[in-house]
Chain A
Amino acid sequence: MKHRTWSHASFLVLTAALAACAGGDQSADEILIGEYGSLTGTTATFGISTKNGIEMATEAINAAGGLLGKQVRIIVEDDQGRPEEAQTVVSKLINSDRVVALLGEVASSNSLAAAPVAQQNRIPMISPSSTNPAVTEVGDFIFRVCFIDPFQGFVMAKFAANTLQFTNVAILRDIKSDYSVGLADVFIQNFTTLGGTIASDESYSGGDTDFSAQLTALKATNPQAIFVPGYYTEVGLIARQAKALGIQAPLLGGDGWDSPDLIEIGGEALEGSYFSNHYSVDDPSPAIQKFVTDYRAKYGETPDALAGLGYDAAMVLFDAIKRAGTTEPQALRDAIAATRNFAGVTGTTTLDEHRNAVKPAVVLQIKDAKLAYVETITP
């Protein structure tokens, strides 16, 4: 009997806890905005950085009196970094919480899963940092405040040709990754337009560990630099093997390099190499420095690019609500689409006709095993 009582008691407690949490959360003097991201799971750092950035933006706007005379409230849902969860929580945010707009996600796969739901319900969605071009192609209610992948190919071509004054660059691309192939193609197109020549174009498959064949072939053409738009794991190994073969030319790359593990894997071999990224905490611009200081004070850590992009995504949305003067979805969509020269922490953002952000990228150099800001390249 005692056993039975205990089981009843524990279920009662649980049911009561559920019921207590199930209270209504609609309020007329609040603007509700939905955010979905990976707060748990393998990519939890992405979701948490973004959430911190959005939280800072929300506190700033509420301290300044809110929007349209109302306070802004963000409802955050965890999607565990899983596409089907992302879709479910977005449906919940739209239909159950009645949010007026959505912020998220970081990973393009999760944004792609959720975007059709936002589009079907005609609720504007702004992705802070999904760089895959397909995301905003889902429909006219889907936006992003980061640049798309191929833009970095343009950035590095311009940097190699104008800043470094190189005329002869080789390519080593990850043939299995859309991202890498896209960057390499755009790089070649822009670099040749700027008067450079491509010494050779070699490829590998993500997951490879031996690159000596490709590097030997590259070395024979004697390039001034090698453009490797891959991910940090392979890039680190490529750098080591290139040095071992006596290749002195620096490597160039994109934001796939952005990981603390990059320098751990590549070590000294990466010294003097360059890659493009969304922003740099060392950027001297006052807006960035203020953001970095505030963020450190609040969360006790240095904000990464995702935090900055989360902040900007929220700010672009708030700015659009202010300009629209309403939260009616169609008017809000049009206001977001009309975002021009919005000054955020990750640069000045303009949304183009494909709802993608046109904004500057920064180039970083690896120096003394640290990342040093080199310059900002504008579109």
Chain B
Amino acid sequence: MKRWLLWLGVLLVLAGLEASLRGLIGPYAYQITVLVGVNIILAVSLNLINGFTGQFSIGHAGFYAVGAYTSAALVKFGGPAIRGLVGFLPAIGQDAVLLLAGLAAAAIVAGIAGLAVGIPSLRLRGDYLAIVTLGFGEIIRVVILNVDSIGGARGFSGIEQLSNFFWVYFFVLVTIVVIHNIVHSSYGRAFVSIRDDEIAAEAMGVDTTRFKVLSFVISSMFAGIAGGLFGHFTMYLHPNSFTFVASFNVIIMIVIGGLGSIEGAVVGATVFTVALELLRKLGPFRLVSFAVLLVLIMIYRPQGLLGSWTLFKGRRKAAPKAMVV
């Protein structure tokens, strides 16, 4: 009962912000705020693999792309049919149904892609896994480049704008809550045990491959959702947005925030996105100064801005299996 009220309150606050934010901070800051949200979902989800399970994946942009294109394609080609089915709803309700259908498809297809990559490759460790995931990300991008019906090298244009601040931050909260609950469950402890010592984990009876694949699939699903939200916000998708550089950017976010901390991933994604925008004033020195900033953070805060600090530490100790919201 209490939890329902909490969620209702959150939804009302988000809806209120959606209605007023664009006017308050201007469309440019609004756009950056939304992109921060998309990056938070990406960072928090990648943190599950890289931070909690200790597997080094550099193919996150691949799943992000799968989600973005799946959702955009479903809405573009199946949109009229879905709208017809829910024609009794007002326009805003139809948009919501359409977006949720697109995001569901994005999560499912990205999850399947995660499974397809995870099963054969997660028997590998360290550098080898990194290379496989890097290769996978590139395969996805090259496949998209060559599929004409979703735009190929031309880019996928004419995507309906369905996502906004409300939806992006709604899913930011969903991602954080779900991943937080997973991490603080017995599954989470299995993930962390794999990170800390894989052999010991196996000796204690943890099915390491199964848990690695599981963390990979969950992470891919959220990356897919982030992709769907991104595509329906920007209205245009191009394979160039999903190169391995995009994967590295997410890794940078979780490293500067603090590997293995959800709060760190949130802070990292925010700092990364906002700092790059603030540095625009520096013109040609923008990327150089950004690199200097990263170097400074790594020298003075090698554990990341937040390290493994967490808001819920006390509660986690008190109730190891608690499904805290």
Known interface pairs A21-B281, A178-B154; A91-B234 also in contact (CB < 8 Å): no
Chain B interface, DSSP helix/strand/loop, else mixed: helix
> Is the Cβ of B286 less than 8 Å from the Cβ of A78?
yes
A82 to B238 alpha-carbon distance, docked (Å): 9
Query: Which residues, 38 to 61 on A, are CB-close (under 8 Å) to B?
Result: 39-40
Q: Please name all residues of chain A whose beta carbon is closer than 8 Å to the beta carbon of B280 when the two chains form the complex.
A: 77, 89, 92
Of the candidates A6, A95, A109, the one having the most CB atoms from chain B within 10 angstroms of its own CB is A109
Known interface pairs A21-B281, A22-B281, A109-B238; A132-B26 also in contact (CB < 8 Å): no
Whether, in the assembled complex, A81 has its beta carbon less than 8 Å from a beta carbon of chain B, the answer is: yes
Q: A88-B31, A109-B240, A176-B152 are in contact. List 5 more A-B contacts (CB 8 A).
A: A87-B234, A96-B26, A109-B238, A178-B148, A178-B152
Of the candidates B146, B235, B277, the one having the most CB atoms from chain A within 10 angstroms of its own CB is B235
A positions within 8 Å CB-CB of B: 3, 6-7, 10-11, 14, 17-18, 21-22, 39-40, 76-78, 80-84, 87-89, 91-92, 94-96, 108-109, 112-113, 116, 121, 132, 134, 138, 176-178
Q: Please name all residues of chain A whose beta carbon is closer than 8 Å to the beta carbon of B27 when the two chains form the complex.
A: 91, 94-95, 121
What is the minimal beta-carbon distance from B241 to any residue of chain A, in angstroms?
A: 5
- Could you say which interface size class chain B belongs to? 35 or more
Q: List 26 A-B contacts (CB under 8 A).
A: A7-B299, A14-B296, A17-B282, A18-B279, A21-B281, A22-B278, A40-B284, A77-B280, A80-B287, A82-B240, A82-B241, A84-B234, A84-B241, A87-B31, A88-B31, A88-B277, A91-B27, A92-B28, A92-B280, A95-B27, A96-B26, A108-B155, A109-B154, A109-B155, A112-B238, A113-B234
What is the minimal beta-carbon distance from B152 to any residue of chain A, in angstroms?
A: 7
Known interface pairs A112-B155, A134-B154, A176-B146; A18-B26 also in contact (CB < 8 Å): no
> Is the Cβ of B32 less than 8 Å from the Cβ of A88?
yes
What is the minimal beta-carbon distance from B71 to any residue of chain A, in angstroms?
A: 16
Whether, in the assembled complex, B77 has its beta carbon less than 8 Å from a beta carbon of chain A, the answer is: no
A196 to B286 alpha-carbon distance, docked (Å): 55
A81 to B279 alpha-carbon distance, docked (Å): 18
Whether, in the assembled complex, B121 has its beta carbon less than 8 Å from a beta carbon of chain A, the answer is: no
- Shortest Cβ distance from B275 into A: residue: A18
What is the minimal beta-carbon distance from B211 to any residue of chain A, in angstroms?
A: 34
Q: Please name all residues of chain B whose beta carbon is closer than 8 Å to the beta carbon of A7 when the two chains form the complex.
A: 296, 299-300
What is the minimal beta-carbon distance from A182 to any residue of chain B, in angstroms?
A: 11
What is the minimal beta-carbon distance from B47 to any residue of chain A, in angstroms?
A: 22
- Shortest Cβ distance from A82 into B: residue: B240
Q: Please name all residues of chain A whose beta carbon is closer than 8 Å to the beta carbon of B235 when the two chains form the complex.
A: 116
Whether, in the assembled complex, B164 has its beta carbon less than 8 Å from a beta carbon of chain A, the answer is: no
Produce 1/0 per residue, B212-242, CB < 8 A to A. Answer: 0000000000000000001000111110110
Q: Please name all residues of chain B whose beta carbon is closer than 8 Å to the beta carbon of A87 when the two chains form the complex.
A: 31, 234, 236
Q: Please name all residues of chain B whose beta carbon is closer than 8 Å to the beta carbon of A83 when the two chains form the complex.
A: 155, 234, 236-238, 240-241
Known interface pairs A21-B282, A22-B281; A116-B28 also in contact (CB < 8 Å): no
A166 to B281 alpha-carbon distance, docked (Å): 57
Q: Please name all residues of chain B whose beta carbon is closer than 8 Å to the beta carbon of A11 when the two chains form the complex.
A: 296
> Is the Cβ of B236 less than 8 Å from the Cβ of A116?
yes
